[in-house]
Amino acid sequence: MTSLRCAQSGVVRGCCLLIVLVVAVLGASAFIADRALAAPSLGATPAGPDHGESEAAIALTLGAQLAAELLAQPDGVVTLSEHDLTVLARAHNPHPNSLRNVSARVRDGLVVVEAEHPYGPFTVMPVARISVALSTAASAPLIATHMVELDVGELTLPGFIRDRLVGSLAPALSVNPLFARSAAMRALRAYLECVVVAQDGVRIGVHRPGTTPQPSVCGA
């Protein structure tokens, strides 16, 4: 009789533990779902000067601005505003059928690209946080981007998931093609000297041919 009661007690404890585990899993699932479906807190909508409504228009505007600056001084700096970055992100959207209403902002020294993505009856909002820097590793300088964080709503995805998705999302912010969209930008690409993510956007500096690069002209 005693052994029977012990066995029953063990079964009860096992059932209680199972119930606790199920409740914990359901609670964690509910928390994850709530965070993933929440709207990300990114602040005001994209702002800044409107340099054009297409990549080609932006290239023409900024190319003319840089050419004018270089006529007067050794260095020239232009700024891609949040509006411009949004235009570029939409132009290079790798999945236009599933990533909708793409927008770009500058937050905490990173470019933050946000979109709407239908997921069954819901709409989730993936958010990519991207660093932007000048790379001189290749034969010609280029603007390198690196996704440092990927969120869904208010849920930050683990690094191994982010790394698996980087390849398919990397084109979401492509700045280098801008330098192929106008004659002035093509001529100046080899003279890139600095790239900085500042409060007002992404600053890009170039120097006049035959002069020494001054990376500090982009500020911080």
Confidence (pLDDT) at 69: 97
Contacts 24+ apart (CB under 8 A), 11-16: none
User: Which of 70-79, 99-108, 158-167, 175-184: highest mean pLDDT?
Assistant: 70-79
Tell me the pLDDT tens digit for each residue of 118-156. Answer: 877 878 788 889 999 999 877 789 999 988 888 876 677
Residue range 61-82: average pLDDT? 97
- Average pLDDT of 158-181? 71
Specify the pLDDT at position 33.
55
Q: Answer for the pair 131, 146: CB distance below 8 angstroms, yes or no.
A: yes
Task: Report percent pLDDT > 70 for the chain.
Answer: 73
Q: Which residue has the tokens 């000297």?
A: 193
pLDDT for residue 44 is more than 60 = yes
What the block records as the tokens of 80 is: 């891609």
- Tell me which residue of 125, 57, 44 sits closest to 88, measured CA to CA: 57
Higher per-residue confidence, 135 vs 163: 135
Q: How are beta strands 201-207 and 75-80 bridged, if at all?
A: antiparallel
Give the DSSP letter of residue 173: S
Other beta carbons less than 10 A from residue 48's beta carbon:
17
Per-residue pLDDT band at 191 (split at 50, 70, 90):
very high
Q: What pLDDT score was predicted for residue 35?
A: 53
Residue 73 has pLDDT above 80, yes or no: yes
Residue 160 has pLDDT above 70, yes or no: no
Mean pLDDT of the chain: 80
| Domain ranges, ordered by start, for the chain | 55-218
Q: Measured between alpha carbons, how far is 181 from 92 in angstroms, rounded to an integer?
A: 14
Higher pLDDT, 13 or 211: 211
**Of 153 and 204, the one with more pLDDT:** 204
Instruction: Check residue 89 and give its pLDDT.
Output: 92
Q: Is the pLDDT of residue 25 over 50?
A: no
Whole-number pLDDT of residue 40: 67
pLDDT of residue 162: 60
The predicted structure's pLDDT at residue 6: 43
